[in-house]
């Protein structure tokens, strides 16, 4: 039976390994840490449920729906409350709801009359030459104006990428936005005409996609994947090198390297870009991947705070709030966690998750826990009318949170594609290549499993190999 080594036990690696096993291939998943799931971690304490990483899974693809079903999780999935469709944006120290249609847009105080009129000129602005790579900021100012950059796109980029729109590439970070302009010459025309194509592909835009979680948080998904894989998972097994031989790929584990295992017919790397850069690949014509070390992953801290309902003036009747950089706040934004899904806070309590750091203010993520709490509280007091002290506190700091798809990122992707071409049987997938959202990473795992299956099906039947005890411990 053909075999596959999967390196990395985050959502991409877990999804790929599960789909490969479903297809009948032998799989071994190597995870450096003591648990699977990566940044997905749900903490239940004192009746509160805190998410350390992503808070929701956007159901943008039928592949996501199918995975939840195939894992037997239909009965545990939860869709966000209807109120979560409402989102807030801060302007002038006021928390204002984003308009949901043309009449509301015309009436909102979020944008000036000039900015609103400027938007109606968008369909008549010439598209950028296809060979030009613009930053997100340059793209938005050209098509929508400066005010939309400052009060719409800057906070959006802060909330999605924890990034800086003056550095991110619109072609790489928001490829569908770039494609709309290139194909239709207008974002507004593209949104209208592109909706038909998404329906034909059975896809849903991220803006309109259902927001999912599970009764005990998103970790239910990764824990279930890990349980389904069973003893195919090797924890505390950091892979240090890959060696290509005529018999296949040998996987070396540990800094010094444990004895080589039975070779694999294919290897999927589903970790991070900086881990890939440190991985030693011994193969004919193997490309140098050291340059991937330069991909910027800013630190992000999440501060999850619980309060008595009466101590928060704002009704928290929505998904959360995004905060433009020009507002001068500490936080990038906050999610109203207890308004999203039930059972996130005890009766009479609410839960709010604030995010600090990112490319906007990376030093803030390095504050001591008490300082992080106070930095978040300062904004919550001013914007949401929070009084008193929190009844629940949980911190989580990701020192390298989200890869920044900055101008020139395409060269990194070209280097990854060259590695796959030069090393048949080596596959690369994950948020450093296929999109940063949780849904993107899940779909990446699914699609790469299909690619690997097609590769294996083209290989000659594996020759019988002598039995070799696997030297890796499961715990």
Structure tokens at 400: 């390298």
Given a contact cutoff of 8 angstroms between Cβ atoms, the answer to whether 381 and 426 are in contact is no
Q: Tokens in use for 359?
A: 């490319």
**What is the Cα–Cα distance from 251 to 111, expressed in whole angstroms?**
56
Distance of CA 30 to the CA centre of its chain: 21
Give the C-alpha separation, 323 to 115, whole Å: 19
Cβ distance 433 to 416 under 8 Å?
yes
Hunting for tokens 């409402």 — which residue is that?
86
* CA dihedral for 24, 25, 31, 37, sign (positive or negative): negative
List helix spans (H) across 25-101: 62-70
Tokens read off for 393: 């506190």
Give the C-alpha separation, 171 to 211, whole Å.
26
Q: How far apart are CA 89 and CA 151, in angstroms?
A: 8
Query: How do the pLDDT tens digits run along the chain, 475 residues long?
Result: 689 999 999 999 999 999 999 999 999 999 999 999 999 999 999 999 999 999 999 999 999 999 999 999 999 999 999 888 899 999 999 999 998 887 888 889 999 999 999 988 989 999 999 899 999 999 999 999 999 999 999 999 999 999 999 999 999 999 988 988 898 888 887 777 766 666 666 666 667 788 999 999 999 999 999 999 999 999 999 999 999 999 999 999 986 556 567 899 999 999 999 999 999 999 988 888 999 999 999 999 999 999 999 999 999 999 999 999 999 999 999 999 999 999 999 999 999 999 999 999 999 999 999 999 999 999 999 999 999 999 999 999 999 999 999 999 999 999 999 999 999 999 999 999 999 999 999 999 999 999 999 999 998 764 433 333 333 332 2
pLDDT in tens, 13-53: 999 999 999 999 999 999 999 999 999 999 999 999 999 99
Please provide residue 355's backbone torsions phi and psi, each rounded to the nearest 5 degrees: -120, 135
> Considering only CA atoms, which of 304, 302, 228 is closest in space to residue 44?
304
Sort residue 220 into left (φ over 0), alpha (ψ -120 to 50) or beta: alpha
**CATH architecture, domain defined by 3-39+219-295+405-457:** 3-Layer(bba) Sandwich (3.50)
Q: What is the pLDDT of residue 185?
A: 87
Q: Where are the domains of the chain?
A: 3-39+219-295+405-457, 42-83+298-398, 111-200
What are the residues facing 334 on neighbouring strands? 321, 354
CB 241 within 8 A of CB 5: no
For residues 295 and 274, give the distance between their C-alpha atoms in angstroms, rounded to a whole number: 7
How far apart CA 19 and CA 13 sit, in angstroms, is: 10
Whole-number pLDDT of residue 466: 39
Q: In what order do the strands lie in the sheet with 57-58?
A: 57-58, 211-214, 77-79
- The HSE-up count of residue 413 (CA atoms within 13 Å, CB side) is 18
Are 406 and 294 in contact by the 8 Å Cβ rule? The answer is no
Using one digit for the tens of pLDDT, what is the confidence trace for 65-111?
Answer: 999 999 999 999 999 998 888 999 999 999 999 988 878 888 899 99
Give the number of other Cβ atoms within 10 Å of residue 23's Cβ. Answer: 14
pLDDT of residue 46: 96
Q: How far apart are CA 169 and CA 113, in angstroms?
A: 29
Q: How far is it, in rounded angstroms, from Cα 62 to Cα 60?
A: 7
Strand partners, 97: 88
pTM, entire model = 0.91
Task: Give Cα separations from 433 to 271, 284, 295, 393, 417 (angstroms).
Answer: 11, 24, 11, 34, 10
In this structure, whether the domain defined by 42-83+298-398 belongs to CATH 3.40.1350.10 is answered with no
Contacts of residues 250-256 at CB distance under 8 Å and 24 or more positions apart, as own/partner, are 251/5, 251/7, 251/28, 251/30, 252/280, 253/30, 253/471, 253/472
Beta bridge mates, 357:
300
CATH for the stretch 111-200: 1.10.3110.10
Under a CB-based contact definition with an 8 Å cutoff, are residues 133 and 171 in contact?
A: yes
Backbone φ, ψ for residue 456 (5° rounding): -65, -35
Distance of CA 157 to the CA centre of its chain: 13
Residue 289, both tokens:
């991947």
From the centroid of its chain, how far is CA 271?
13
- Give the H or E element holding residue 182: helix 175-184
Are 329 and 323 a contacting pair, CB within 8 Å? yes
Dihedral sign for Cα atoms in the order 408, 410, 412, 415: negative
């Amino acid at each position: 039976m053909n075999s596959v080594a999967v390196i990395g036990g985050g959502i991409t690696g877990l999804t790929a390994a599960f789909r490969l096993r479903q297809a009948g291939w032998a799989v071994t998943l190597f995870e450096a840490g003591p648990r699977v799931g990566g940044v997905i971690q749900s903490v239940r304490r004192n009746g509160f449920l805190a998410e350390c990483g992503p808070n929701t899974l956007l159901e943008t693809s039928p592949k996501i729906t199918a995975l939840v079903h195939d894992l037997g999780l239909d009965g545990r999935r939860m869709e966000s409350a209807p109120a979560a469709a409402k989102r807030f944006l801060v302007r002038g120290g006021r928390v204002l709801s984003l308009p949901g249609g043309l009449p509301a847009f015309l009436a909102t105080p979020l944008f000036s009359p000039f900015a609103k009129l400027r938007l109606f000129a968008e369909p008549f602005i010439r598209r950028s030459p296809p060979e030009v790579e613009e930053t997100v900021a340059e793209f938005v100012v050209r098509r929508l104006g400066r005010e939309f950059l400052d009060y719409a796109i800057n906070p959006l980029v802060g909330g999605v990428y924890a990034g800086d729109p003056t550095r991110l590439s619109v072609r790489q970070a928001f490829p569908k936005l770039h494609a709309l302009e290139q194909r239709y010459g207008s974002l507004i025309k593209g949104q209208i005409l592109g909706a038909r194509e998404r329906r034909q592909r059975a896809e849903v835009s991220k803006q309109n996609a259902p927001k999912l979680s599970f009764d005990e948080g998103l970790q239910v998904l990764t824990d279930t994947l890990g349980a389904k894989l069973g003893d195919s998972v090797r924890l505390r097994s950091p892979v240090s090198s890959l060696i290509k031989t005529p018999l296949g790929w040998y996987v070396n584990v540990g800094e010094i390297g444990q004895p080589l295992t039975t070779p694999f017919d294919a290897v999927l790397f589903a970790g991070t870009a900086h881990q890939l850069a440190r991985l030693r690949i011994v193969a004919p014509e193997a490309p140098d991947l050291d340059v991937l070390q330069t991909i910027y992953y800013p630190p992000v801290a999440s501060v999850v705070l619980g309060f008595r309902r009466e101590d928060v003036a704002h009704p928290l009747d929505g998904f959360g709030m995004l905060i433009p950089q020009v507002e001068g706040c500490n936080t990038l934004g906050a999610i109203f966690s207890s308004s999203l899904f039930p059972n996130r806070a005890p009766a009479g309590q609410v839960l709010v998750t604030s995010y600090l750091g990112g490319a906007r203010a990376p030093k803030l993520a390095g504050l001591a826990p008490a300082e992080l709490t106070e930095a978040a509280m300062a904004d919550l007091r001013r914007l949401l009318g929070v009084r008193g002290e929190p009844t629940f506190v949980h911190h989580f700091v990701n020192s390298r949170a989200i890869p920044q798809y900055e101008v020139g990122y395409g060269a990194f992707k070209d280097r990854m594609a060259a590695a796959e071409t030069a090393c048949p049987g080596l596959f690369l997938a994950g948020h450093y290549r296929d999109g940063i959202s949780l849904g993107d990473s899940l779909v990446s795992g699914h699609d790469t499993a299909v690619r690997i299956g097609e590769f294996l099906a083209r290989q000659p039947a594996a020759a019988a190999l002598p039995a070799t005890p696997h030297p890796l411990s499961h715990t």
